[in-house]
A and B are shown apart, each in its own frame.
Chain A
Amino acid sequence: MSYIKKPKIIRENALRNKLGMTLTDYEGVMSTLCAGCGHDSITGAIIQTVFDLNIEPHRLIKLSGIGCSSKTPAYFASQSHGFNSVHGRMPSVATGAHSANSELFCIGVSGDGDTLSIGMGQFTHAIRRNLNMLYVIENNGVYGLTKGQFSASADVGSTAKKGAPNVQIPIDPCQVAISIGATFVARSFSGDKDQLVPLLKAGLMHRGFAMLDVISPCVTFNDHEGSTKSYLSTRESKREALYTDYIEPFSEIEVDYDQGSSIEVDLHEGGKVILRKAEKEFSPLNKSDSIRIIREAADEGEMLTGLLYIDENTPDFTEMENTVKKPLNEIPFGDLCPGSKTLTSLQKNYK
């Protein structure tokens, strides 16, 4: 954190998006996280993402639970809607918000504690619902806000700051998500914006639940030598399974792709992803392939990154449940609340 406020200076040659907005326009309040926190880099990547996608601030809702990670929504898009909910309960609030207005772009920011411990139940059921949202886990392997105890994502053998090793088996959110039917699963690193920003864009434009597990080192409690989630160890252990490029709608594809080894997927909300394979024997369109390759990498002590699984065909929550597409605030009150007579006649049907 800093004592001074970040000065607001718009340079003449500052880049502007199609809405005429600058990156500064998509910023939020000054972060109060520790200097060097990975979460702040993710904030920077999200700002870049919504800037590049020309998202109107009033069409974005950002939600979170509790924890260091869950402070993030305050630090970007201060002109957008936001909800800082109860610990681990962000998916419920997101479900509600999405039901009320499915036209909003929805970004949920959570942490490894908020998702994999107290919020595990809510997390898995949001996946089952295929809620149309981008769910970002800022994963640092520790409970930073309560001084660095191991979280559920800490690797076996990774040590705490004072040297004690973790002995419990970690939960890998990517494997969990794929196994219970998530339709977009990716992993990235806060210190690699070249990879992170296209994944965030693709996740936001995906129809359904897009889970992005971002390793985000805790600079205060988990950036030491024995940690497997420090800046250095993450750089050393990460291996990119697929290079992901997000191509905006109606734009020319400027790079030549090797047709044989690359895969194009059209995204429901606009644009497409082009996936260039680093692993020959791997298709991110095949669930078994994805789980296998993640496990194999983990056995070798590697952390696989990139877009690990994508399924653009499964209907999302609103389609499955056949809920109303129109935002509730645009529906006349009489239709929304047809009155006691209608209610009584409806109830008669169930007697």
Chain B
Amino acid sequence: MQPTDTKDPQYYHKVVDCQWGCPAHTDVPAYIRHIAQGEFTQAYMVNRESNVFPGILGRVCDRPCEPACRRVRVEEEPVAICRLKRVAGDLKGDIKELLPSIPDKKNGKKIAIVGGGCASLTVANDLLPIGYEVDIFESLPVMGGLIRSNIPKFRLPPEVIDEEFNIIVEQGANLYLNHPIESMKELLKESYDAFFIGTGAPKGRELDLPGRNDTDEVHIGISWLESVAFEHIEKVGKKVLIIGGGNTAMDCCRTSLRLGADNVKVMYRGTRDRMKSSDWELEPALEENVELVLNHSPDEYVIEDGKLVGMRFSVLDWFKDEKGKLTSKKIDDVVIPCDTVILAIGQENSFPWVERDIGLEFDQWEVPIVDPVTYQSTIKGLFFGGDAAFGPKNIIEAVEHGHQAAISIHKYCENQALTDRLEYGMNLVTEKMGLHEWSYSNDYGYENRLEVPTVPMNERFKDINIEVEMGFEPGQFQQEVERCLNCDIQTDFAANLCIECDACIDICPVNCLMITENDDEESLRKKIKTPADNLEQDLFVSEDLPHTGRVMLKDEDVCIHCGLCAERCPTAAWDMKKFTLKVPYALDEANSTNTNATKKAV
């Protein structure tokens, strides 16, 4: 094998599984260490740089980081990364002084942003410090978009949204609330230098079965949640059926309980492992006595005397056919009584305000065609992000879209090629403090993952606004932070210093090192004491070692970053170095252009 190029920032980036899994590449271990040291404001700012809304995401992020967490490969449960993020949000101090300064002299460029959700506000957050003038148009009387209207207040209190959104607007964005944009054609005529569309995927999917039009008691989930959020709906029936198995279904069933329903059933047509809802959204629902009914496919709304009295379902048996394709067979037919049905079977993009003759191309699902790197549509200067760009995804994806779109907008306004973007950079700094001392807590924490405390069951339903999760308390989060394996503190190897004493191999608690003759990858993976059989994780191969010409191998799969290899290394060939990924943002693009301009001038 060729020696591993650890100078490529993506190599060490991949070792930091959580950061690699995060669409916005949040430096998770760094902020967890800040929390460990009681530096909540710094922890918050590390978050904010990449994900902009730590308080919001600390409650409702889809947390792709957690299944990716290395801890899952060492024991059962990942670090409670999302919950720790909330700790930083809850306990931070004043951050106003720490935000990038906004230039008094503007750069003369004006950007229109349609929609006041996370993607849009990220664009504003990234462009304001460069000197852009930003106009945000929101159709509702409040900002937030989907997270305001679709996420119930018992999961995400409105104050948290207000705080994190307002701080961006207060940096000088012009906010136009109650200001729906009725025509894209008219908008594009206005004197803006670029446009960003972050209007989400606001249309809930319909389920047109017999009886659908004979009752008022069938609701579309996301519209219904929005009506609840804005207090247009304050009641629901006693027996409620939720159709669907995603996170919207979970929000609908728990909301129903808080509006007075006695019996709530989530009806899903498949098996549980195919449900799209996250475990951490399904579990609280089950805990609150929501009934989960699987393998039931809806056929008909049953109406008697003009009233909804139930819903007819086919009971399905799922099996794999001869070709291995999952198919179903109807084994029964049942009517489940109910007085309300809420449909949570997906959402779609909807652009009724966009004319189809302006040169903007759409795909077959009525989603505009958007470049996955630049986020530019088929009209130059018109950018999309968030759910509006590629259909429904999640909040953290939307934030990353916003960052990338902001870079494109800046480049577009500067007449630079949109694809000529700054590359990732990195910093590596040794953590060595002394012979056996490192500037991070390298001891392995054996504790199991902590459950986050919640409001007692008998208190939860008194008011729809009572936030159920209370966040970790001091003592709890101090325990949880120690579970983090500090994957960003990299084992950095200098082959030229190695004397092949084997000390690192002998001490490694997870047997992930070996010195051997170089070979092809398959053979090398077998030579490590505990075979490196997780092919998704890289195998580090050093340069030839000076004494024998053999190579050092490291299986990146389960290294727990304890630093014992570096402690036992007599020549400091192994060192523990803090890896910081340098993610370029719009401001970095602006600064690099300025530097180049200065250079040219000189």
Contact between A14 and B568, CB atoms less than 8 A apart: no
Among A11, A24, A35, A217, contact of B558 (Cβ-Cβ < 8 Å):
A11
Inter-chain CA distance A43–B435, complex, in Å, is 22
Q: Is A311 an interface residue (CB 8 A)?
A: no
Among A7, A24, A41, A219, contact of B562 (Cβ-Cβ < 8 Å):
A7
Among B500, B507, B530, B533, contact of A6 (Cβ-Cβ < 8 Å):
B507
In the complex, what residues of B have CB within 8 A of residue A5's CB?
A: 443
Q: Is A293 an interface residue (CB 8 A)?
A: no
**How would residues 286 to 308 of chain A score, 1 for a CB under 8 Å from any chain B CB and 0 otherwise?**
00000000000000000000000
From B444, B509, B510, B533, name the one whose CB has the most chain A CB atoms within 10 angstroms: B509
Q: Is A15 an interface residue (CB 8 A)?
A: yes
Nearest CB in chain A: distance from B161 CB, A: 41
Nearest CB in chain A: distance from B271 CB, A: 26
**How would residues 521 to 564 of chain B score, 1 for a CB under 8 Å from any chain A CB and 0 otherwise?**
00000000111010000000000000110000000001010101
CB closest residue in chain A, given B548: A235
User: In the complex where A35-B567, A35-B569, A232-B547 touch, is A6 in contact with B501 (Cβ < 8 A)?
Assistant: no
Contact between A4 and B529, CB atoms less than 8 A apart: no
Q: Please classify how large the interface on chain A is, using the bins under 10, 10 to 19, 20 to 34, 35 or more.
A: 20 to 34
Nearest CB in chain B: distance from A25 CB, A: 13
Q: Is B428 an interface residue (CB 8 A)?
A: no
**How would residues 211 to 237 of chain A score, 1 for a CB under 8 Å from any chain B CB and 0 otherwise?**
000000101000100000001100100
Contact between B509 and A7, CB atoms less than 8 A apart: yes
Contact between B501 and A11, CB atoms less than 8 A apart: no
In the complex, what residues of B have CB within 8 A of residue A14's CB?
A: 511, 530
Contact between A2 and B436, CB atoms less than 8 A apart: yes
Inter-chain CA distance A7–B508, complex, in Å, is 9
**How would residues 5 to 17 of chain A score, 1 for a CB under 8 Å from any chain B CB and 0 otherwise?**
1111101011100
Nearest CB in chain B: distance from A222 CB, A: 12
**How would residues 411 to 453 of chain B score, 1 for a CB under 8 Å from any chain A CB and 0 otherwise?**
0000000000000000000000001110000111010000000
Inter-chain CA distance A11–B444, complex, in Å, is 15
Contact between B570 and A15, CB atoms less than 8 A apart: no
Contact between A2 and B558, CB atoms less than 8 A apart: no
Inter-chain CA distance A41–B505, complex, in Å, is 9
In the complex, what residues of B have CB within 8 A of residue A232's CB?
A: 499, 547
User: In the complex where A6-B509, A232-B547 touch, is A1 in contact with B502 (Cβ < 8 A)?
Assistant: no
CB closest residue in chain A, given B512: A11
CB closest residue in chain B, given A3: B436
Contact between B502 and A4, CB atoms less than 8 A apart: no
Among B442, B443, B503, B560, contact of A35 (Cβ-Cβ < 8 Å):
B503
Inter-chain CA distance A7–B565, complex, in Å, is 13
In the complex, what residues of A have CB within 8 A of residue B366's CB?
A: none
Among A4, A11, A38, A40, contact of B530 (Cβ-Cβ < 8 Å):
A11
Q: Is A36 an interface residue (CB 8 A)?
A: yes
In the complex, what residues of A have CB within 8 A of residue B505's CB?
A: 44
In the complex, what residues of B have CB within 8 A of residue A24's CB?
A: 509
What is the interface size of chain B, counting residues whose CB is below 8 A from a CB of the partner? 34
Inter-chain CA distance A44–B507, complex, in Å, is 9
Inter-chain CA distance A191–B503, complex, in Å, is 9
Contact between B564 and A6, CB atoms less than 8 A apart: yes
Total A-B residue contacts, Cβ distance less than 8 Å: 99
In the complex, what residues of A have CB within 8 A of residue B162's CB?
A: none
Contact between A223 and B529, CB atoms less than 8 A apart: no
Q: Is A23 an interface residue (CB 8 A)?
A: yes
Inter-chain CA distance A2–B437, complex, in Å, is 9
Contact between A13 and B509, CB atoms less than 8 A apart: no
CB closest residue in chain B, given A5: B443
Inter-chain CA distance A34–B569, complex, in Å, is 9
In the complex, what residues of B have CB within 8 A of residue A8's CB?
A: 509
Q: Is A205 an interface residue (CB 8 A)?
A: no
Contact between A37 and B564, CB atoms less than 8 A apart: no
Q: Is B4 an interface residue (CB 8 A)?
A: no
Contact between B510 and A4, CB atoms less than 8 A apart: no
Contact between B531 and A4, CB atoms less than 8 A apart: no
In the complex, what residues of A have CB within 8 A of residue B509's CB?
A: 6-9, 24
Nearest CB in chain A: distance from B163 CB, A: 40
Q: Is B506 an interface residue (CB 8 A)?
A: yes
In the complex, what residues of A have CB within 8 A of residue B558's CB?
A: 9, 11
Contact between B570 and A36, CB atoms less than 8 A apart: yes
**How would residues 484 to 509 of chain B score, 1 for a CB under 8 Å from any chain A CB and 0 otherwise?**
00000000000000011111011101
Inter-chain CA distance A1–B437, complex, in Å, is 11
User: In the complex where A4-B564, A35-B568, A44-B506 touch, is A13 in contact with B530 (Cβ < 8 A)?
Assistant: yes
In the complex, what residues of B have CB within 8 A of residue A38's CB?
A: 501
In the complex, what residues of B have CB within 8 A of residue A23's CB?
A: 511, 529
Nearest CB in chain A: distance from B62 CB, A: 27
CB closest residue in chain A, given B445: A7
Contact between B503 and A9, CB atoms less than 8 A apart: no
Q: Which of A39-81 contact B (CB under 8 A)?
A: 40-41, 43-44
Contact between B502 and A41, CB atoms less than 8 A apart: yes
Contact between A15 and B548, CB atoms less than 8 A apart: no
CB closest residue in chain B, given A217: B501
Q: Is A193 an interface residue (CB 8 A)?
A: yes
Q: Is B74 an interface residue (CB 8 A)?
A: yes
Contact between A44 and B499, CB atoms less than 8 A apart: no
Q: Is B571 an interface residue (CB 8 A)?
A: yes
User: In the complex where A11-B530, A13-B531, A235-B547 touch, is A193 in contact with B502 (Cβ < 8 A)?
Assistant: yes
Q: Is A190 an interface residue (CB 8 A)?
A: yes
Inter-chain CA distance A247–B510, complex, in Å, is 28
Contact between B503 and A37, CB atoms less than 8 A apart: yes
Inter-chain CA distance A40–B506, complex, in Å, is 7
Nearest CB in chain B: distance from A89 CB, A: 29
Nearest CB in chain B: distance from A274 CB, A: 21
Contact between A36 and B569, CB atoms less than 8 A apart: yes
Inter-chain CA distance A249–B533, complex, in Å, is 29
CB closest residue in chain A, given B441: A4
Contact between A36 and B501, CB atoms less than 8 A apart: yes
List 16 A-B pairs, Cβ < 8 Å.
A1-B436, A2-B436, A9-B510, A9-B558, A9-B560, A14-B511, A15-B529, A23-B511, A34-B570, A35-B567, A36-B503, A36-B568, A40-B568, A43-B506, A223-B499, A231-B499
Not counting A15-B530, A36-B571, A41-B502, a sample of 20 additional A-B residue pairs whose C-beta atoms are within 8 angstroms of each other reads A2-B507, A7-B443, A7-B444, A7-B446, A7-B560, A8-B509, A9-B510, A11-B510, A13-B533, A15-B529, A38-B501, A40-B507, A41-B501, A41-B503, A44-B505, A191-B502, A223-B570, A231-B501, A232-B499, A235-B500
Binding site for A on B (CB under 8 A): 74, 435-437, 442-444, 446, 499-503, 505-507, 509-511, 529-531, 533, 547-548, 558, 560, 562, 564, 567-571
Top-7 shortest CB links A-B: A36-B570, A7-B444, A44-B506, A41-B502, A4-B443, A231-B499, A3-B436
Binding site for B on A (CB under 8 A): 1-9, 11, 13-15, 23-24, 31, 34-38, 40-41, 43-44, 190-191, 193, 217, 219, 223, 231-232, 235
